[in-house]
Chain A
Amino acid sequence: MAELLFWPAFLAYGEAAVAYAGDARRPGSMGRLATWGVRIGWLVQTALLIAQAARADGFPWDTWAGSLNLFVWLVVGAYLIWGCKPRFRLLGLVVMPLAALLLAVSYAAGGMDVSGESRYSSLFLGLHVGLVLAGFAGLTLSAALAGLYLWQERELKRRSSTVLRFRAPSLVTLEGLFARTVAFALPVLTLGMAVGFARLRHGSQLDPLIVLTVLTWAVYGAFLLLRYGAGWRGRRAAYATLAGFALVVAMQLTLQTGHFG
Chain B
Amino acid sequence: MSLVLVGTSHRLSPVEVRERIAFDLDAASELARRLADGGEAVCLSTCNRTELYFSHPDPGAAEALGADALLGDEVELYRMRDEEAALHLFRVAAGLDSLVPGEGEILGQVRDAYEAGAHGPVLDRLFREALRVGKKVRTDTAIAESPASVSSAAAALAQQVFGELGGCKVFLIGAGEVSELAARALTARGATIATVTSRTQESAARLAEAFDARAVPFDELGPELERTDVVVSSTSSPEPVLSRDQVPDRKGRPLFVIDLAVPRDVDPAVAELEDCYLYDIDDLQAVVRESLSGRRREAERAEAIVEQEAKRFRDWQASLHVVPAIASLRERAETIRSGELAKAEGRLEGLSESERRTVESLTTQIVNKLLHVPIVRMKEAAATEGAGYVEVARHLFGLGEDESASDRKPRK
| Residue positions of A touching B, CB distance < 8 A | 26-29, 152, 156-157, 159, 161-165, 167-173, 231-237
Taken residue by residue from 276 to 292, chain B's Cβ proximity to chain A (1 for < 8 Å, 0 otherwise) reads as 01110001001101110
Stretch at the interface among B123-131, B200-208, B250-258, B391-399: B250-258
Docked CA distance A139–B298 (Å)? 37
Docked CA distance A232–B252 (Å)? 7
List the 9 shortest-distance A-B pairs measured between CB atoms, nearest first.
A233-B252, A170-B163, A161-B286, A161-B290, A159-B283, A28-B142, A173-B163, A234-B252, A156-B277
CB distance from A171 to the nearest CB of B (A): 5
Docked CA distance A207–B254 (Å)? 43
Residues of A within 8 A of B286 (CB): 159, 161
Residues of B within 8 A of A165 (CB): 146, 290-291, 294
CB distance from B380 to the nearest CB of A (A): 31
| Residue positions of B touching A, CB distance < 8 A | 141-142, 145-147, 153, 156-157, 159-163, 251-254, 271, 274-275, 277-279, 283, 286-287, 289-291, 294, 297-298, 301
Residues of A within 8 A of B283 (CB): 159, 161
Residues of A within 8 A of B279 (CB): 159
CB distance from B269 to the nearest CB of A (A): 13
Is there contact, CB below 8 Å, between A28 and B141? yes
* Cβ-neighbour of B287 out of A163, A168, A237 (below 8 A): A163
Is there contact, CB below 8 Å, between A163 and B157? yes
Is there contact, CB below 8 Å, between B160 and A152? yes
* Cβ-neighbour of A231 out of B142, B145, B251 (below 8 A): B251
Residues of B within 8 A of A172 (CB): 161-163, 254
Is there contact, CB below 8 Å, between B291 and A164? yes
Contacts A28-B298, A164-B147, A235-B274; A169 near B252 (Cβ below 8 A): no
Is there contact, CB below 8 Å, between A167 and B163? no
Residues of B within 8 A of A237 (CB): 252
Residues of B within 8 A of A28 (CB): 141-142, 298, 301
Report whether over half of chain B's contact residues are helix, strand or loop; otherwise say mixed. Answer: helix
CB distance from B347 to the nearest CB of A (A): 61
CB distance from A166 to the nearest CB of B (A): 10
Is there contact, CB below 8 Å, between B254 and A171? yes
* Cβ-neighbour of A27 out of B142, B147, B160, B275 (below 8 A): B142
Docked CA distance A56–B236 (Å)? 76
CB distance from B303 to the nearest CB of A (A): 15
Residues of B within 8 A of A164 (CB): 146-147, 153, 156-157, 160, 287, 290-291
Q: Which residue of A lies closest to B251 (CB)?
A: A231
Is there contact, CB below 8 Å, between A163 and B253? no
Q: Which residue of A lies closest to B298 (CB)?
A: A28
Contacts A28-B142, A167-B142, A172-B254; A161 near B163 (Cβ below 8 A): no
Q: Would you mind naming 18 contact pairs between A and B with Cβ atoms under 8 Å apart?
A: A26-B297, A27-B142, A156-B160, A159-B278, A159-B279, A162-B290, A163-B157, A164-B157, A164-B291, A169-B163, A170-B161, A170-B162, A171-B160, A171-B162, A231-B252, A233-B252, A236-B252, A237-B252
Docked CA distance A4–B157 (Å)? 48
Contacts A161-B290, A163-B287; A170 near B142 (Cβ below 8 A): no
Docked CA distance A232–B275 (Å)? 12
Residues of A within 8 A of B147 (CB): 164
CB distance from B297 to the nearest CB of A (A): 7
Which residue among B160, B278, B289, B301 has the maximum number of chain A CB atoms within 10 Å of its CB? B160
Docked CA distance A28–B300 (Å)? 13
Residues of B within 8 A of A232 (CB): 252
CB distance from A169 to the nearest CB of B (A): 7
Residues of B within 8 A of A173 (CB): 163
Docked CA distance A163–B288 (Å)? 11
Residues of B within 8 A of A236 (CB): 252
Residues of A within 8 A of B298 (CB): 28
Q: Which residue of A lies closest to B141 (CB)?
A: A28
Residues of A within 8 A of B294 (CB): 165
Docked CA distance A241–B163 (Å)? 21
Residues of A within 8 A of B274 (CB): 234-235
Which residue among B153, B159, B161 has the maximum number of chain A CB atoms within 10 Å of its CB? B161
Q: Which residue of B lies closest to A166 (CB)?
A: B160
Residues of B within 8 A of A163 (CB): 157, 160, 287
Q: Which residue of A lies closest to B287 (CB)?
A: A161
Contacts A161-B290, A234-B254, A235-B274; A167 near B145 (Cβ below 8 A): yes
Residues of A within 8 A of B297 (CB): 26
Which residue among A163, A164, A168 has the maximum number of chain B CB atoms within 10 Å of its CB? A164
Q: Beyond the given A231-B251, A231-B252, please list 16 additional residue pairs across the A-B interface where CB-CB is below 8 A.
A: A27-B142, A28-B301, A152-B160, A157-B271, A161-B286, A161-B287, A162-B290, A164-B146, A164-B160, A169-B163, A171-B161, A172-B162, A233-B253, A234-B274, A235-B275, A236-B252
Residues of B within 8 A of A234 (CB): 252, 254, 274-275
Is there contact, CB below 8 Å, between B252 and A156? no
Q: Which residue of B lies closest to A157 (CB)?
A: B277
Q: Which residue of A lies closest to B164 (CB)?
A: A170
Docked CA distance A161–B297 (Å)? 16
Residues of A within 8 A of B278 (CB): 159
Is there contact, CB below 8 Å, between B289 and A161? yes
Docked CA distance A89–B292 (Å)? 22
Docked CA distance A125–B2 (Å)? 77
Docked CA distance A237–B275 (Å)? 12
Q: Which residue of A lies closest to B256 (CB)?
A: A156
Docked CA distance A233–B252 (Å)? 5
Is there contact, CB below 8 Å, between B159 and A170? yes
Docked CA distance A113–B141 (Å)? 44
Residues of A within 8 A of B275 (CB): 233-235
Contacts A171-B254, A172-B163, A234-B252; A156 near B157 (Cβ below 8 A): yes
Docked CA distance A233–B297 (Å)? 37
Docked CA distance A232–B254 (Å)? 12
